[in-house]
Amino acid sequence: MRATLSRQRVKKTLDDLVAIGLATRDTDRSVYWLNDSHVLTAPLLEALDARPNAFTRIKALASETVGPYTTVAVYGSGDEEGLGVLIITGAGDEGSSTELAEILARVLPRMLSGTSRVEVIQPTELADRIKQRNPTALNNWWRSVTVFGPNLADTMITIYRSTIPPAPQTTDTHRTGE
């Protein structure tokens, strides 16, 4: 649901924020600023920033559901495109990884008031996607933030390095100084 605000309603809201000290106003130009020194500014901004709160909640859910060798990484901005969660299943965690994905699929849309994606893959599938230069793997997962388990970026680097052919060995046939 999208709310529409009239110009008059926005001005009244801003004036109310000025009245309680959360904002200041330049009356000559009708410009408003957030009052950074107000005691409520920091907690309000923190409450409005869904991303860190989502990370904390996802980490807590992961620690309650999966083992320490399962990677849980978050990618995307959380606004228009939505937040994505990638779960790389650790050894013996297949069932609990699926359970975590189901929980996150229920919880994230309500928590973020938007769309979210949750994907569970095996380490071999991650390796295949990196080797195939899958755009999602290279563009989204590479920039993700690991919130639980082994670091996804480190894992991806290790996999990528294994795809690089070794440099040809050269022999030094010219010896000097002997």
18 has a pLDDT exceeding 80: yes
Q: What letter represents residue 40's amino acid? A: L
Q: Give the residue, 81 or 25, on which the prediction is more confident.
A: 25
Q: Which domain holds residue 21?
A: 1-36
Is the domain of 76 the same as that of 111? yes
Range in 25-29, 38-42, 74-78, 150-154 with the lowest mean pLDDT: 74-78
Q: pLDDT by residue (tens digit) across 120-138?
A: 999 999 999 999 999 989 8
Range in 75-84, 137-146, 158-167 with the lowest mean pLDDT: 75-84
Helix (H) or strand (E) holding 84: strand 83-88
How many residues are listed for the chain in this entry?
Answer: 178
CA distances in angstroms from 11 to 48, 52, 120, listed in the order given = 20, 30, 46
Long-range pairs for 87-95 at CB < 8 Å and ≥24 separation?
87/118, 87/119, 87/120, 87/121, 88/121, 88/122, 88/123, 88/126, 88/149, 88/150, 88/152, 88/155, 89/120, 89/121, 89/122, 89/123, 90/66, 90/149, 90/150, 91/67, 92/67, 93/66, 93/67, 93/69
Is the domain of 17 the same as that of 104? no
Give domain status of residue 111, yes or no. Answer: yes
CA distances in angstroms from 96 to 57, 68, 93, 123, 145, listed in the order given = 17, 12, 5, 15, 21
Give domain status of residue 96, yes or no. Answer: yes
The CATH number of whichever domain residue 109 belongs to comes to: 3.30.460
Indicate the number of domains in the chain.
2
Give domain status of residue 169, yes or no. Answer: no
61 has a pLDDT exceeding 70: yes
Strand-pair partners of 32:
25
Give domain status of residue 155, yes or no. Answer: yes
Q: pLDDT by residue (tens digit) across 75-91?
A: 986 555 678 999 999 98
Is the domain of 77 the same as that of 22? no
